[in-house]
Amino acid sequence: MARTGPRFVMFPIRDHNPSNITPYVSYALIVINVLAWLSYGLGSEREIWNVYYDYALVPAQVLAGEEPYTFLTSMFMHGDFMHLAGNMLFLFIFGDNLEDYLGHFGLLAFYLICGIGATLAQIAIDPTSQVHNLGASGAIAGLMGGYLILFPKAKVDVLAFFMLISLPAFVVLSIWIGLQVFDGFGSLGGTGGGVAYWAHIGGFVAGVVAIILIMALRGKPRNWPEMPNPEAPMPNPWAATRK
C-alpha cells in the first residue's frame, strides 16, 4: 500500500493569516475525511483491507480502464489515525485562506483538481504498479502549493527541534517540497508500498500552476505578495469583474 501523508522535519501548528470568511468547504472536507475513515478504520485488519481493495487506486488497474471511480474515493481514505490527523491538520491550516481567495466552490474544484493531478503524477512514475494508493495529501499538497504563491510572507508556526518557531510560508513550504523531491528520487525503483512522494510533488505542482493561472486571469489578492489586509476582503476570482 502506498499512501500520501505529511513527512516533515518541521511540523506546522498554525498560520498567522486571518481569513474573511467561514471556510465551510474546508470544514466539510475535514468532516468527510474523518467520517470516511471512521466507517472502516476501526474494523478488523481484514475488513480494512477489503475496503482498500474496493476503493483505493491501483495504477495498473485504472490504466486498464478498471475502477476509474477510485480517482475520487482514494482521496478520502487513510491508512491509520495518524495519517488522517496529519493530513487534516494541514488542511485546517492552509485551506481557509485558499477558500477566502477562491470562494467555496472554487476551493472544492481546486482541491479535487490537485488531487487528480497528484494521482496522475504517481501513475506516471510507475504505471504498472499493483500497489493500492490512498490518502488526501496529494490534494492538500496542492493547497500548500497555492498557499506558497498567494501568501509567501505569511508567518507559519512550526514545531522544530522541540521548539516552536515562526517562519515565512515560503521557507516552510519550500523545505517541505524539497524533502518530497529528495525522497521521491530516492524512492524510484522501489516495488513495495510506502509514501507516495510523487503524488505529493504532482499535487504541489498542480496547485502552483493553477493559482498562477487564476491570478493571471482574475487578479491578485490585495497587497500581494505582502500579507492581505484582514479588514479588506480579497477579491473572489469567480465573481463578476467590476468596472
The predicted model scores a pTM of 0.87
Alpha-carbon gap, residue 23 to 208, rounded angstroms: 21
Other CB atoms within 10 A of residue 231 CB = 7
Alpha-carbon gap, residue 178 to 43, rounded angstroms: 36
pLDDT in tens, 88-130: 999 999 999 999 999 999 999 999 999 999 999 999 998 999 9
Cis peptide, bond prior to residue 225, ω within 30 of zero:
yes
The one-letter code for the residue type at 174 is: S
pLDDT in tens, 162-203: 889 999 999 999 999 999 999 888 877 665 556 888 999 999
CATH class of 14-218: mainly alpha
| CB contact at 8 A, 212 and 148 | no
Q: Domain residue spans in the chain?
A: 14-218
Instruction: Give me the helices (H) in 77-161, please.
Output: 81-102, 104-125, 137-150
Handedness of CA 95, 203, 102, 74 (dihedral sign): negative
